[in-house]
Structure 1
């Protein structure tokens, strides 16, 4: 990583510079997506953990982090393409599959594990809210961001967005990100970090694997927007929008 002093660096910036750090923060329960502006020492203090231990883990991960996707070096239009074609499509394809599997497991194990009923409700509500969120990005925010990027590349000026500034829809997107982040942090606690009970069948194990993968992808999605895409476009807007 390029950052010299991780203690006083935001966790979002640390992950932005090297996405391999996300694995470390996941292990320690550090929220790098919805609260990426929090400095590392503050995040560790809030969780009552030793910041030096986390830094050592980051250093180890940094040395072994070959193959991590260099999102921070990507042009913004490519980053948006990735978000739309990997994350938005992924939510819409994997979400219903996850829900179908969850309903199957809840029918079999719901009596012995009543937390599955709450889990089913949380995931169902999330998928509904996420669909509305994705539509807002696709129909309102991202089309203007593509135009803004093209204008910046061509050295042109842009008229303001119809809602005045991109800061307004971005604020809404970040609020919705935080709501989803909090929901899935609760899901992580509810499932005891995606653990499978002793009486869990193969479908139960598959459910926890798929749920964890879905959450990891969602947190990557939020991180890419909150810590990379949105701040860089706000900077562009300040320079070329009249």
Structure 2
């Protein structure tokens, strides 16, 4: 099944991001943390164990929740009202958060050898890496929609008003 293209109109796009990506991240990350903890515990000392992955994912869980709340409670309501003076400041904060999320995704790939499973990986390990792949694709698309589609509509508008 192919996913429908995201809308570009700001109000519709903010709702799409909340319904598609925020909701999904809130489902994905707790499950991924639990699976990573299990893999690290059960396979402690085995070759290829992604030591530190559960801690990284746990940290991301908290950071991403704060990020999504800032969008849901501050930035997206302002966007739905057509913007506000100084909107470039919360947008800049979101862009900085996105850069941090990109670094965390790169660290996930480093810890997991680019999501490469060792021979004979158990079902939990396999499910973890499948879930991480999906999460990474979702988070990357979430950030792309904001950085490349949503935010420029308000940044350019503010520059034009100056």
**Shared fold (TM-score greater than 0.5)?**
yes
Distance 2:132 2:10 in 1: 29
Measured after TM superposition, the shift of residue 132 of structure 1 is 0.8
Measured after TM superposition, the shift of residue 221 of structure 1 is 0.6
Q: Paired residue for 1:188, among 94, 97, 109? A: 109
Retained in 1: the 8 A contact 2:51–2:111?
no
Q: Paired residue for 1:202, among 98, 115, 123? A: 123
Retained in 1: the 8 A contact 2:36–2:128?
yes
Task: Give the equivalent residue in structure 1 for 2:24.
Answer: 90
Distance 1:93 1:165 in 2: 33
Q: Paired residue for 2:147, among 204, 208, 226? A: 226
Distance 2:39 2:52 in 1: 13
Distance 1:113 1:104 in 2: 15
Q: With CA pairs under 8 Å and 6+ residues apart, which has the higher RCO, 1 or 2?
A: 2
Task: Give the equivalent residue in structure 2 for 1:140.
Answer: 74
Distance 1:146 1:226 in 2: 17
Structure 1 residues 97 and 122, CA gap change in structure 2 (3 angstroms): same
How many pairs align? Answer: 161
Q: Which has the larger radius of gyration?
A: 1
Question: Deviation digits for residues 190-240 of structure 1, max 9, x if unmatched?
Answer: 21211110131111111100011011100001100001100012234456x
In the alignment, structure 1 residue 170 sits paired with structure 2 residue 91: yes
Distance 2:8 2:100 in 1: 27
Question: Deviation digits for residues 7-27 of structure 1, max 9, x if unmatched?
Answer: xxxxxxxxxxxxxxxxxxxxx
Root-mean-square deviation (Å): 2.1
Retained in 2: the 8 A contact 1:98–1:210?
yes
TM-score under structure 1 length normalisation: 0.61
Retained in 1: the 8 A contact 2:88–2:154?
no
TM-score under structure 2 length normalisation: 0.89
Measured after TM superposition, the shift of residue 114 of structure 1 is 7.0
Measured after TM superposition, the shift of residue 77 of structure 1 is 1.6
Counterpart secondary structure, 1:117: coil
Distance 2:108 2:117 in 1: 14
Counterpart secondary structure, 1:116: coil
Distance 1:90 1:131 in 2: 12
Distance 1:70 1:85 in 2: 14
Retained in 2: the 8 A contact 1:148–1:237?
no
